[in-house]
Structures are given as structure tokens and as C-alpha cells.
Amino acid sequence: MKSKVGLVDCNNFFVSCERVFPPDLKEKPLVVLSNNDGCAISRSNEAKALNIRMGEPYFKFVSIAKKHDIKIFSSNFELYADLSRRVMATIKTMVPLINVYSIDEAFLDLSAIPDHKIEVFCQELQERVQQWTGIPISIGVSYTKTLAKVANICAKREKGIRILLKETEIDEVLSSLPVKEVWGVGHKYTACLKNHHIETALDLKKVPLKWVRQFMSVIGERIVWELNGQVAYPLETQEASKKMILVSRSFKKPLSSFEDLSSFICAFTEKAAEKLRKENKLATHVYIFIKTDRFHQKEYYANGYEINLDRPSDETLTLIRASQAGLKKIFYPKHQYKKAGICFTRLIDASHVQYSLFSHPLEKRRIMLTKTIDQIKRKFGSKGIFYGDFSLKAFELTQREHLSPCYTTKWGQLAKVL
């Protein structure tokens, strides 16, 4: 029996999250903005109808927003992550084998459901997720992840569910799907394919493997396999462990002093180190980068520096020292820095490290310190305690003017029923 893959995709996920608790937002146009309230990253259907594009800078549509009373939200990832967990947990009550692909998507193993029952099954799933979490979802079903993605595009258009299991039906859908809509085909590949008169997903499906290998490497080859119903991307039901951890931000106002940048790097490192410990990983390398405004190409400066740590570490103070040393290497005064970040790479499992932590007294004390600070943060929030002299400034410089409450993760911000 051929395996069947479902793809659940939460509709306009961030916007839908914002709609779960307030009662008055159901049919209003709504937009969620990126960090610093920079640009649109999620739009309700009503906002899409007003021609607000994905990634469009807020300043470009602020007047349309005012005119049509579009509700604007800063991104609230704490809320989204929690609702995402609830959606995934709900799906698991009906489908044991799922591959969580992103915050708002999961592939499902539906092989056990007979073809003729699959539509009803999906309807039940959709209703359950809506009822239990308040989040609307679309479901596409086919034989491979890539085809399930295609089915999901159809489902979105038809507002719901699309089962693509008949060969003729699959080809019919592929023939009217522009090739750029296919999962894994970005703008570069689209341009390349267009040059060779490959316009639709069906054209791509029929391309010889040898040809696609030459122009799109093994990636293209896999896409073609998958369009033909051959699995190239199996379901991964084990959560993959992270290979890198990155924290970066753009600044609302550019920074030029070493001290200011350094305080941000310090705050980023602290944040990244917390993630690292949560993942139970140690960093072996610390990469730091800074950039000026990419929209001003003339004076553009971007640079990064990687530090190889003496010993793998997950401990904030060591990592901060490394990042500060890295910053010194690449910082030049006189530039207006618009973005900076820190990246821990080549992570290893904390449990696999051989050396004894307790053989270094200094290190032992630092680990205790890190643990204590983590505890204080859990109790009093991230501003309760922090490293360095400037972090508070760093907190305030990230602008989120339209932030919604963390309804589900902070006691003080629970939704009120009046």
C-alpha cells in the first residue's frame, strides 16, 4: 500500500492566534508585524483583500491601515509558540505519527486511513483543532510531502480540505500550478526553469532527472521524484536536534558606538545561551556579525568573526567573553550599524562531553552562577537580572508598540471575561 501524507497548515497563523481571545476581531482586517514593527508577516484574508502584501514595510501601508481600520499587532511569539504546541498536541490525539515542520505546519502519516474515509477523517481533525484551540487549519493529502503541499494550496483556495490521490486529478492540478509554487522552487530556480520553458508544476514533473540534476542539483531531482509520487523526503517523527542557534535583530535606529553594539551583543548572547541550555547543547564556536543598512548599498559594510572556544560551553559568561572579543575584531567606528547577531555553531550534545565539569573549580562556580541566574530569570522575568551594564537599553530599543497580551503563558495577562 502506498503511504499517504497529510499536511496541516494553520491559516494565517499569527493573525489567527491574535484572534483566539479578543471577541471583536473575527472579521476585521488584521496584520501582524515583524520585529521593530517593520513589515507585514501575517495577514488576515480581509487584509489580503486590501492588497497588503507579505513582507510589505509598515510605513508603506500605514495610511491604508488607518483608512480601513486595519488592526495592527506586533509579533508575540510567546503566544504563537504556545498555541502552536496546543495545535500539535490536538493533532496527535487523532494521528500518532506527525512531523512538526514549522510553528504552523505539520506533516501527518495517514497511511492507516483507507482512501474512502480520509475526507471525513480530515473534517473531524479540522473541527477538533478549531474547537480545542480556536485555530483554523487547512489539510492537504497526497502521496509525498511535496504533493501534500500542492494539495494544501488547493485546500487553502477552497477553504478547507483537499485530497489528491487520483493520478489524473493530480496532473490536472499540477498543470495549472505555476512552477514557482512548488515547495523547494525559489526565485532563482523559477528563473532558470522559465528559461527552459518549464512553466508549470506538471512541466517540472515530466522533466528528465538527468537534466534537473544538472541545473538544480539533487534538490531538483528530489522535487521531481516527489511530484511523481516517489517519496524523497520521508516523514521525520523524531524532533531533529538543532545544529545552530542564532539570535539577531535589526535596530530601529542605527547604532554607531562600540558600547551600544556591545550591549546588544551581550543581550543576544544571553538569550542564545539560554536556548543552548534548553536544547542541552554546548557550543564549540561563536560567530558574531554586524551590518549597516542593506538598503544603502553605497556605504554598506558587513562583517563577521568566528571564535573557536577553548572548551565547548553553554555558560553565559564564557560565551559573552567570546562574543565581545569577536565584536572587537570587526567593529569599525564611523559606520551606522543597522543589524547585529550572534550564532552558536557546530553544537555538540552536552551529555556526550567527556571532561569532568567538576575538575575545574572556576568552571564549577560559573555553572552554579549560570543556574542561579536562570532561576532568578524564571521567577522575575528577563529584566530581573542580566549580564553587563547596558542590557536594559538593549531591551528598550526593540520596539513593539502593538503587542498583544500573552494570554496563555503569563498569569497577569489572562483573558478576562466581562
Q: Which residues bind DNA (CB under 7 A)?
A: 34-36, 38-39, 41, 55, 57, 59, 101-105, 149, 182-190, 217-219, 240, 242-250, 252, 275, 295, 306, 338-339, 341, 346
Residue 115 burial by Cβ neighbours in a 10 Å radius (0-12, 13-18, 19+): middle
Shortest separation between residue 55's beta carbon and DNA, angstroms: 5
Site of grid cell 487547512: 138
Shortest separation between residue 117's beta carbon and DNA, angstroms: 27
- Nearer residue to DNA within complex by CB, 113 or 129: 129
Give the β-pairing of 105-109 and 98-102: antiparallel
- Nearer residue to DNA within complex by CB, 51 or 372: 51
Shortest separation between residue 333's beta carbon and DNA, angstroms: 19
Shortest separation between residue 223's beta carbon and DNA, angstroms: 9
- Nearer residue to DNA within complex by CB, 43 or 338: 338
- Nearer residue to DNA within complex by CB, 113 or 193: 193
In terms of residues, how long is the chain?
418
- Do 326 and 305 form a contact (C-beta atoms < 8 A)? yes
Beta strands in 117-241 (DSSP E): 137-142, 161-163
Residue 138 burial by Cβ neighbours in a 10 Å radius (0-12, 13-18, 19+): buried
Residue 319 CB neighbour total at 10 angstroms: 25
Task: Please measure the distance between the N-terminal and C-terminal CA atoms of the chain and give it in whole angstroms.
Answer: 54
Site of grid cell 478549531: 130
Helices then strands, counting H and E runs in the chain, come out as 14, 13
- Nearer residue to DNA within complex by CB, 118 or 247: 247
Shortest separation between residue 360's beta carbon and DNA, angstroms: 25
- Nearer residue to DNA within complex by CB, 241 or 372: 241
Shortest separation between residue 197's beta carbon and DNA, angstroms: 17
On the CB side of 46, CA atoms within 13 Å amount to: 17
